Amino acid sequence: MTDAGYVIAGYSIVFGSLTLYVVRMLLRGRSLSKQVPPEDRRWM
Amino acid sequence: MVPEHTGSRATRIVGLLTLIGLVSVLVLGLVVTAPDEIQGDAARLIYVHVPVAIVMNVGFFVTALGSAMWLWKKSRWWDTIAVASAEIGVVFTALALATGMVWGRPTWGVYWTWDARLTSTALLLLLYLGYLVVRRLPSDAEVRNRRSAFVALLAFVDVPIVYYSVSWWRSLHQTATLSINTHIHGLMLFTLMLSMVVFLLAYAWMLTHRFRLAWLEEETESQGLEVAISERRAEAGVS
């Protein structure tokens, strides 16, 4: 593969960053859910 | 029983579809599709760069819509949608810039140039980072929502400028990737279209979770405020 370093870097940046962002968001969601009464977190 | 997380049955189904789609895009984009005749393998970056840029635009459109609707309806739901979508839009703008820079090096010979498309996109990132900062300024919820709604609507002016920058000014960046006379065909076109759908699905999944998280953040903030007020009242001896 030509320019393999650039291609792998591009894909790694996208998939790596999105994974970090999503994990952080889900963990924070779990943490805050415990602090809020059930009637205030009814998800449709 | 109400679950102690921001997921639901719908998000699990969408999340699973997104994961399957992302794996398919990885396999098609990195292994199955052929290299481009001119750009070689560097053209494989199109399967992430273009979908990321599309989500960026959709994200800021939803923020502008949510902000306009908040100004009209004064509904907490619309304000929460606006802020949730803005944060995702900022993440995708940073990714669009980063993947563009990585692609620019093998094709243009430089990571960065003060080209109209690149500069207007960098400005877009700064504008929406500013929006997120305005959201965090301490103030009454109504004042904060109104202030940030105006900032979001002003910042959105840059979105069409980014899109048309390649037509309005002489630019190193190519014009629209997909148009009526598109030069992409066959498996390359299929992979690009699939990637766009999958990234939009990922956006919908993230928006749902981020919306619920923003809702929880506001709930805990108001709980904290109520506790602080009752503590002050107790200190002052006010019942």
Inspect the interface and report whether the beta carbons of A35 and B217 lie closer than 8 Å. Answer: no
Band the pLDDT of B139: cuts 50, 70, 90.
Answer: confident
Q: Answer whether residue A34 shows pLDDT above 80.
A: yes
A11 CA: distance to closest CA in chain B (Å): 7
pLDDT (0 to 100) of residue B50: 96
Inspect the interface and report whether the beta carbons of A33 and B6 lie closer than 8 Å. Answer: yes
- Interface probe with B: pick from A14, A21, A23, A28, most Cβ of B within 10 Å: A14
Inspect the interface and report whether the beta carbons of B45 and A13 lie closer than 8 Å. Answer: no
A30 CA: distance to closest CA in chain B (Å): 4
- In degrees and rounded to multiples of 5, residue B36 shows phi and psi of -75, 145
Mean pLDDT of chain B: 91
- In degrees and rounded to multiples of 5, residue B40 shows phi and psi of 70, -145
Q: Answer whether residue A43 shows pLDDT above 70.
A: no
Question: Would you tell me how many other CB atoms lie within 10 Å of the CB of residue B13?
Answer: 11
Note whether A21 contacts B: Cβ–Cβ < 8 A.
yes
Chain centroid to Cα B212, Å, comes to 16
Band the pLDDT of A42: cuts 50, 70, 90.
Answer: low
Q: Which among A13, A22, A35 has the least Cβ separation from residue B95?
A: A13
Band the pLDDT of B28: cuts 50, 70, 90.
Answer: very high
- Which residues of chain A neighbour B219 with C-beta distances below 8 Å? 32, 36, 40-41
In sequence order, the 6+-apart residues with CB closer than 8 A to the CB of B73 are none
Q: Answer whether residue A38 shows pLDDT above 70.
A: yes
The average pLDDT across B32-36 equals 91
> Quick one: tokens of B95?
């990714």
Decide: B213 and A25 in contact? Cβ < 8 Å.
yes
The average pLDDT across B65-79 equals 95
A12 CA: distance to closest CA in chain B (Å): 10
**Does the CA dihedral B119-B121-B124-B129 come out positive or negative?**
negative
Note whether A13 contacts B: Cβ–Cβ < 8 A.
yes
- Interface probe with A: pick from B212, B218, B226, most Cβ of A within 10 Å: B212
Inspect the interface and report whether the beta carbons of B216 and A26 lie closer than 8 Å. Answer: no
Band the pLDDT of B232: cuts 50, 70, 90.
Answer: confident
The average pLDDT across B104-111 equals 92
pLDDT (0 to 100) of residue B95: 98
The 10s digit of each residue's pLDDT in B164-214 is: 998 888 777 777 666 655 677 789 999 999 999 999 999 999 999 999 999
How far is it, in rounded angstroms, from Cα A40 to Cα B212?
Answer: 11
Decide: B64 and B156 in contact? Cβ < 8 Å.
yes
Band the pLDDT of A20: cuts 50, 70, 90.
Answer: very high
Decide: B192 and B50 in contact? Cβ < 8 Å.
yes
Distances B63 to A14, B22, B144, B178 between C-alpha atoms, Å: 22, 25, 15, 25
Of chain B, the percentage scoring pLDDT greater than 70 comes to 95
How far is it, in rounded angstroms, from Cα B60 to Cα B123?
Answer: 13
The average pLDDT across B123-131 equals 98
Chain centroid to Cα B172, Å, comes to 24
pLDDT (0 to 100) of residue B68: 97
- Interface probe with B: pick from A19, A33, A39, most Cβ of B within 10 Å: A33
